[in-house]
Amino acid sequence: MRWTRLLPFACSLALLLTAVRVVTADDIAERARHLHFSSIVLDTHDDTTQRFFSKAGFDMAQRHTDGHIDIPRMREGGMNAIFFSIWIDGRIMGPPAVQKAIDQIDAVHQMVRKNPKDLVFCRTAAEVREAHKQGRIAVLMGVEGGHMIGNDVRVLRTFGALGVRYMTLSHFYNDEWADSSTDKPAHNGLTDFGKDIVREMNRQGIMVDISHVSDKTFYDALEVSKTPLIASHSSCRALCNHVRDMSDDMIKALAANGGVIQINYERSFIDQAYKDAFDKISGGVVEAMNKVTRDCGTDDDCRSRKIQELQSSAEKSGRLPPVSWQRIIDHIDHAVKLVGADHVGLGSDFDGATMPTGMEDCTKLPKITEALMRKGYSDDDLRKILGGNLLRVMEATERVSREMQTAH
Ligand SMILES: [Zn+2]
């Protein structure tokens, strides 16, 4: 046989070898890094505001050894779009809550002004995309808890004008018009005023966030809202039966309406064994919070210190099991299998929650992209999960807002 007759066979073999090489582990690591660092990586819930708002001298431009977020670590982890949470304890209502919200909104704007090379304040999805093109981190704001508008729709509109782009309808306690998942039902979901608030949020282009709310509040909001809803920081109840998480039925209803669930990394929301053990030693999340409040009142530093002390002493003594960062992947994958990759994203709860082992701070984020790529997720789906889905909901919210404002 002449050797040239072997040529097609040799070529096929070479192609086959190339194909095999493409899927080796090292190539996936490299591809995942490239995809991660060229994508918009957007996190919808970070409590870092409490650090730069209440701690004099806290500098976002410096690398810290505590907490989860600062500019150097965001750069290292490729996190380039972030919603800072505006929050005060849900039992503080009326004018003091409004004042605290405005103080924190101002603190976010001042912090961005102090770091113009790295940060840019964004009000629209287009501005987030532009910030990414410029290599700057997009800063956005969400108000965590409807109690912060002081029952006054004018305050809500003012928040919108100041750049707030989502509001969580309630926090840990019921507010005057929405039931929380961690309180006794008082309103059977949303009151009529609460429904008006949702409509006004639509009109102002403020995304409706259903993390923290009771199941009935979620279904009421879903019925009233003209825009898709977001869960800014919630995980899947099917994997960890916590009231703060969403049931499969809720995730399906959210997705059917075009919304997105942004997965929370908090240990007790993602790992059933940890949640059960935590409930056993603390009497459950509600009792744990009540005890901390009895000890600390409204001193937030004292409250977070007490919770951390309880958790770390229980972990050291083996009463709380370790939780791996891989649980985050399980929750993302569960939601994707349930409703598809168009309806899932990232809502870490950094600086407000206890992170699982392996996700100690935002520098670890590239691991999520790599783990999902190893599961066979396409580049397209990964970019959606990393930030594209949330930007789609933001754009839909902007569109509805424009339509409603021109209609009146
Ligand atoms: Zn929260």
Over the stretch 164-215, which tens digit does the pLDDT of each residue have? 999 999 999 999 999 999 999 999 999 999 999 999 999 999 999 999 999 9
C-alpha of residue 144 to centroid of ligand 1, in Å: 7
Calpha distance 385→390 (Å, rounded): 8
Report pTM. 0.91
C-alpha of residue 15 to centroid of ligand 1, in Å: 51
In the prediction, which pLDDT does 307 show? 77
- Count other Cβ atoms within 10 Å, centred on residue 9: 9
Residue type, 370: E
C-alpha of residue 16 to centroid of ligand 1, in Å: 50
C-alpha of residue 242 to centroid of ligand 1, in Å: 13
C-alpha of residue 233 to centroid of ligand 1, in Å: 7
Calpha distance 369→216 (Å, rounded): 34
- CB-side exposure of 5: number of CA atoms within 13 Å? 2
In the prediction, which pLDDT does 2 show? 47
C-alpha of residue 170 to centroid of ligand 1, in Å: 9
C-alpha of residue 372 to centroid of ligand 1, in Å: 25
C-alpha of residue 30 to centroid of ligand 1, in Å: 34
C-alpha of residue 202 to centroid of ligand 1, in Å: 22
Q: Which residues of the chain have pLDDT under 70?
A: 1-25, 300, 408
C-alpha of residue 128 to centroid of ligand 1, in Å: 23
C-alpha of residue 172 to centroid of ligand 1, in Å: 8
C-alpha of residue 286 to centroid of ligand 1, in Å: 14
C-alpha of residue 159 to centroid of ligand 1, in Å: 19
Measured at the CA of 354, the angle between CA 105 and CA 57, to 5 degrees, comes to 40
C-alpha of residue 125 to centroid of ligand 1, in Å: 23
Contact yes or no for 140/164 (Cβ under 8 A):
no
C-alpha of residue 288 to centroid of ligand 1, in Å: 15
Measured at the CA of 207, the angle between CA 108 and CA 225, to 5 degrees, comes to 155
In the prediction, which pLDDT does 1 show? 43
C-alpha of residue 191 to centroid of ligand 1, in Å: 22
C-alpha of residue 169 to centroid of ligand 1, in Å: 11
C-alpha of residue 374 to centroid of ligand 1, in Å: 30
C-alpha of residue 199 to centroid of ligand 1, in Å: 23
In the prediction, which pLDDT does 23 show? 56
C-alpha of residue 124 to centroid of ligand 1, in Å: 23
In the prediction, which pLDDT does 305 show? 76
Calpha distance 171→109 (Å, rounded): 23
- Give Cα separations from 116 to 47, 123, 130, 182, 299 (angstroms): 21, 16, 15, 39, 32
In the prediction, which pLDDT does 210 show? 98
C-alpha of residue 317 to centroid of ligand 1, in Å: 28
